[in-house]
Amino acid sequence: YIQFTKFGIVIFVLLTGLAGYGVGYQSETVFNFVHLAKTLLGLFFLSSGKILWNILLGKDGPHFSSSVTCLERWSYYYLLGSLAASLFWLCAGTLGVLNIYTAGILCVLGIALFAFDFMRNKIIQDLNKSFNLWKNETSLKEKSLFIALLTVLVAFSITSVQSQVYSDTLLTHLSLPNFYIQHGRVFCYPCNIYTYFPQNTEMLVMWPLLLKSEVAAALLMIGFLSALAFFLLGFIQRISSNIFSFSFALIVITTPAISWFSTTIKNDFPSAVFLFAHYLLLIEGLDRQDTDPSLSKNLLLLSGLCAGGAIGHKLTAAIPALISGAIIGTLCLKSRTGFKLTGYFLIGSF
């Protein structure tokens, strides 16, 4: 996308907008050509702004660095950790050991591992170094935007104390874990079709519910929101300025759709964050298939893990995951390692 000409970018955006309009059009709605024309004209205006492009990305265009930022690494740690926790509770539920003691032991073990890793990697020294650099070398605008971003994340986390009222949350994402807890195990129930679906969200929520804390279950969603914000910050910082990255992340996480789904216990938002991480890793892996095949293999394996995590939260994510697998196979068809790279991606997804 970055290598497109400006004309190519405009055509790409217009075709994408037209496809989205067609897919989202409801048959019972009267078609309004003026509304479609306004939509396409608005997209044309936004996508053809050469002045805005130069201001945000610089006249020479974006330059990708080869390193993943610390913020992105923390986000990947959270996603992979949640994936491991979901698998653990699925196994524990299958074995019939759903109780407060198992949940408490897992909490203690997790805190111990975190403390060990915290001390081994000298995270305190790194945080102090980063804080001093931020305090002494960043501009007032960057500090203000960073503080605003943290304020929004903290403000959203406060909403976790409120009662959950969304229908899907009450009918599925909270009721299923409670159902499993009452029976002491995870099993398929013929009278509830959702017991046959992937249930990463329910497995994660079951952990805090075993500890009698619905607030902690809601905070899990805030963790995914923070991961998304860090992904956006890290990715945009590699192609543009810090001011633009903070502004972009702040705008995205305060949109109504993101703010709503990140403060509600529901599977859509975790699945979307996993898919976003999958695309980031997929792009990096494909870019390095010629220069560093070993790293490309690992990145595509992680991309597959994130795609599998998205499917685990919501089954509809299988469609973009399959498309990604087809893209990898098509792009790598001419190389000898093409099928291997596709295999690593599919293994990770499985």
Supply the pLDDT for residue 139.
Answer: 80
3-state percent breakdown (helix, strand, coil) of the chain, nearest 5: 75, 0, 25
Q: Which residue pairs, CB below 8 angstroms and at least 24 apart, start in 315-321? A: 315/197, 315/198, 316/271, 317/271, 317/274, 317/275, 320/275, 321/278, 321/349
Count how many Cα atoms sit within 13 Å of the Cα of residue 91 in the half-sphere of its side chain.
Answer: 7
Supply the pLDDT for residue 20.
Answer: 81
CA angle 172, 177, 182 (to 5 degrees): 125
Distance of alpha carbon 21 from its chain centroid, rounded? 24
Supply the pLDDT for residue 301.
Answer: 85
CA distance 16 to 46: 13
* C-alpha pair distances (Å), 343 with each of 211, 238, 298, 303: 40, 29, 12, 12
Q: How many CB atoms lie within 10 A of CB 338?
A: 16
First to last CA, the chain: 29
Supply the pLDDT for residue 144.
Answer: 87
Tokens of 39: 């939509």
CA distance 259 to 270: 13
The reported pTM is: 0.77
CA distance 272 to 85: 18
> Do the Cβ atoms of 141 and 243 come closer than 8 Å?
yes
Query: What's the one-letter identity of residue 273?
Result: V
Distance of alpha carbon 229 from its chain centroid, rounded? 9
Supply the pLDDT for residue 336.
Answer: 60
Supply the pLDDT for residue 4.
Answer: 53
Over the chain (350 residues), the average pLDDT of each successive run of 10 is 60 80 77 81 66 44 51 84 88 88 86 76 68 76 86 87 84 89 88 86 90 87 91 83 85 87 88 91 81 80 88 89 81 63 70
Q: Which residues contact 126 (CB under 8 A, 6 or more apart)?
A: none
Query: What's the one-letter identity of residue 236?
Result: I
Structure letter (DSSP) for residue 161: G
Q: How many CB atoms lie within 10 A of CB 311?
A: 23
> Do the Cβ atoms of 80 and 305 come closer than 8 Å?
yes
Supply the pLDDT for residue 24.
Answer: 77
Dihedral angle of Cα 210, 216, 217, 219, to the nearest 10 degrees: -160
72-119: pLDDT as tens digits: 888 888 888 888 888 888 888 888 888 888 888 888 888 887 777 777
CA distance 65 to 311: 30
